[in-house]
Amino acid sequence: MTKKNYIYILGCTFIFTLFSCKHSESEYHSITDKIEAESKNYHGTSISSEQFLDGVETIEITEDEHTFLIPERKSQITSYACTECHTKPLNQMQNKEGAKKAHWDIKLAHADLNTMNCITCHNGDDMDNLKSLTGNTIDYNRSYKLCSQCHSKQFEDWKGGAHGKKVAGWAPPRASMTCVNCHNPHKPSFETRWPARFNTQKVKERE
């Protein structure tokens, strides 16, 4: 073996290692690296979901560093404003015994009665607004403020976008459903039901 051969082999090894270290196809080591690197120069896209929000009345809210749209609520409540019927404070409007009550169909299934009843959220003296636990006024359009008093974890996730749904599309502007768009505030949990479909072919295939 001459010195030349040694140098030759050394050179080959060097070149080999040089090329084998670099992954041949992608410039990034992982998808998270790629996302991080490519979003540095993010300039926004021309795609917008604004057109899908046509006909949905929204209001803009800002909670911490998150600013986004939520559907307007008052126009969706059948008989808002409540004062159209509730002309007097509630204690002056008590029904006669035996007559059918106005909101007979509402059965509260939200926490237990030690924790909550109607007046935890509603104010008998101001039926057009909701009230916080400390007695402050909360607008019907911002009812999420009421929910977030107890459901703080869900509130955090909702603000960031991990809980809940978008109104229309993924593209900006962000418009997210608010709590009451999916949950019935008087009975917030989801019910059990049958699945939307059953695949009979799959059963045959697997026989």
Partner 1 sequence: MSGIGKYFKLNLNSATKQTSGSCGCGSSSGGCGTPKEDTSETSYGCGNTSGGCGSQPQSQTHISDEDFDTAVDAAIGEECKKDGFDQVFDVKMDRRTAFRQLTASLMIGAGAVSSSCSVISDDESKEKAQIDWEEQFKGNYKLMTDQEKKATVDRLVRSYQLRKGKNITMSSKNAEEDVLFGYAFNISKCQGYMDCVSACAEENNQDRNSQMEYIRIHEMKDGKGFKFDEADDNYYHEVPAEGHFYMGTQCFHCDNPPCVEVCPVQATWREEDGLVVVDYDWCVGCRYCMAACPYDGRRFNWSTPEVPENEINKNQHYLGNRMRKKGVVEKCTFCVQRSRAGKNPACVEACPTGARIFGNLLDPDSTIRWVLENKKVFRLKEDLGTEPKFWYFMD
Nearest to 183 by CA among 105, 77, 110: 110
By CB under 8 A, residue 150 contacts partner 1? no
By CB under 8 A, residue 162 contacts partner 1? yes
By CB under 8 A, residue 151 contacts partner 1? no
Cα four-point dihedral sign 196, 201, 204, 206: negative
Q: How far is the CB of 80 from partner 1 (least distance, A)?
A: 25
Q: Give the binding-site size for partner 1 (rule: CB under 8 A).
A: 51
Tokens found for residue 48: 């917008």
Of 2, 5, 20, 51, which one interacts with partner 1 (CB under 8 A)? 51
Q: Write out the binding residues for partner 1, residues 166-205 only, by CB under 8 A.
A: 166, 168-172, 174, 176-177, 182, 190, 192-203
How far is it, in rounded angstroms, from Cα 154 to Cα 161? Answer: 10
Residues 178 and 144 sit within 8 Å (Cβ to Cβ): yes
By CB under 8 A, residue 71 contacts partner 1? no
By CB under 8 A, residue 57 contacts partner 1? no
Instruction: Say which DSSP state 161 is in.
Output: T
Supply φ then ψ for residue 60, to 5 degrees. Answer: -95, 135
- For residue 27, CA distances in Å to 30, 40, 41, 127, 158 come to 9, 16, 17, 61, 35
Rg (CA), the chain: 30
Binding segment toward partner 1, per CB under 8 A, in 27-35, 69-77, 89-97, 107-115: 27-35
* Choice between 29 and 100, CB closer to partner 1: 29
How far is it, in rounded angstroms, from Cα 108 to Cα 186? Answer: 5
Q: How far is the CB of 147 from partner 1 (least distance, A)?
A: 14
Q: Which residues pair with 67 in a beta bridge?
A: 62
Q: How far is the CB of 161 from partner 1 (least distance, A)?
A: 2
By CB under 8 A, residue 115 contacts partner 1? no
* Choice between 100 and 193, CB closer to partner 1: 193
How far is it, in rounded angstroms, from Cα 70 to Cα 59? Answer: 6
Of 2, 5, 24, 46, which one interacts with partner 1 (CB under 8 A)? 46
Kindly list the residues in this chain that would bind partner 1 in the complex (CB under 8 A): 25-26, 30-32, 34-35, 38-39, 42-49, 51-52, 153, 157, 160-166, 168-172, 174, 176-177, 182, 190, 192-203, 206
